[in-house]
Amino acid sequence: MVSDKLKKVILAQLKLDDWDIVDGTTADTVPGWDSLTHAGLICAVEDAYRIRFRASEIVRLKNVGQLQELVDRKTAERTA
């Protein structure tokens, strides 16, 4: 499930007050989330969680649910 923290990071980066962001949400359904803003959004997520993604991990992401799973895994690795 998409956490409130991740949702807040995404909305803040896209300058949206609110938007329904769930596991199945894809970038193309969210206003302002396009190919140019994507890289900045990923950096914002990395900074918010103090984690780093590899290029191959980012390219494979299909929706926000997968981004959340990746964040959870990276966060667990960092704290392990």
Which residues contact other proteins (rule: CB under 8 A)? 16-17, 26, 28-29, 31-32, 34-40, 43, 52, 54-56, 58-60
Determine which helix (DSSP H) or strand (DSSP E) holds 39, and give its type and residue range.
Answer: helix 35-49
For other proteins, the closer CB: 31 or 80: 31
Whole-angstrom distance, CA of residue 54 vs CA of residue 73:
13
Task: State in angstroms the smallest separation of the CB of 11 from other proteins.
Answer: 12
Task: State in angstroms the smallest separation of the CB of 55 from other proteins.
Answer: 4
Task: State in angstroms the smallest separation of the CB of 14 from other proteins.
Answer: 9
Size of the chain in residues: 80
Whole-angstrom distance, CA of residue 56 vs CA of residue 46:
15
For other proteins, the closer CB: 4 or 17: 17
Whole-angstrom distance, CA of residue 65 vs CA of residue 72:
11
